[in-house]
Amino acid sequence: MSIVFSGAYTLARATDAESGLPRIYHHNLVAFDTITAEQETTANPATNLANSDTSLSWKSGSTASQKLTVLFDYTDPIDYVAFARHNFADGGASITSIEILDPGGDPDTPGDWTEVVGANVLADNLATVFQFTATVANGLRITLNPGTVAPEAAVMYCGTSLPLTYGLPVGHMPIKYARQSRGFGATAESGDRLGYVELGATLSGNIVQKDLDPVWYRENLKDIGMEGKRSTFFFAWDPENYPDEVAYCWTTNNPIPIINRVTGEIDITFEVDGLAI
């Protein structure tokens, strides 16, 4: 699980007051009618990437160099693209580049695309966020060089990330390390361990925010809270210092904002599970 920062973003965040704050990657421009792939199988098309479920996936079926493209009509800056349940670290694969389409640009004109993230080789297949300097664009494309294994992924997000206004309270456990296993084990009458069979696992944790400005909450976090158990997003608890501690999450409670009647400030807790691989 990691955040890959572009060089330009790394320089900009050195003086960015938001750089060390928790960040939610919830806004998503990847939709059934915006995503296309140069390579896809009939059973696993690129439109599966627009589904928040990780049980469905896009499968390329090819080891040729290929592009995933998202085209959209959006007037605010975008600053990230993210993937969950992918295999981009397998078979000597690399991500050659990530580019954005200039506003009003022609997707078929090479000069209308601008690179925002250079070549990368991922260390693992855990949830990955590529963060770049916020820029207005009408599209994003990622070029994959698969190596010996045809690429696949279950979830793709692209949009504008949300830095929270406060850090997390003392006692927060990074969700990467909060793995909850489901299975069964046995112990012999002699007391010897006979093993454990894992049937499945998730990551489990929470996102606690206190004393939020009421205007900021209503403009930025309210809609995520109102989605309740339908809400899915990528989450980085401290992207500045721990960029490898990222998870693809879904809310397991119905977050209720608690309002201070004197100040109007808001406390809210998101209970979340995350994808464990």
- The average pLDDT across 86-103 equals 94
pLDDT averaged over every residue in the chain? 92
Question: 227: pLDDT confidence band, cut at 50, 70 and 90?
Answer: very high
Q: Give the model confidence (pLDDT) of 2-21 as tens digits.
A: 578 655 444 445 446 566 79
- Tokens at residue 85, please? 């349940």
Q: Which two tokens stand for residue 111?
A: 């000069």
pLDDT at 191 (0 to 100): 87
Residue 85, CB half-sphere, CA atoms under 13 Å: how many?
18
The model's pLDDT over 228-270, given as tens digits with 9 standing for 90+, comes to 999 999 999 999 889 999 999 999 999 999 999 999 999 999 9
**Sequence-distant (≥ 6) Cβ neighbours of residue 162 within 8 angstroms:** 23, 24, 25, 26, 27, 220, 221
Q: Which helix (H) or strand (E) is 154 found in, with range?
A: strand 152-159
Q: In this model, does residue 173 exceed pLDDT 60?
A: yes
CATH 2.60.120.260 residue spans of the chain? 28-160
What's the one-letter identity of residue 73?
A: D
SS3 88: coil
The yes-or-no verdict on residue 57 having pLDDT over 50 is yes
pLDDT of residue 171: 87
Question: Residues for the chain: how many in total?
Answer: 277
CATH assignment, 28-160: 2.60.120.260
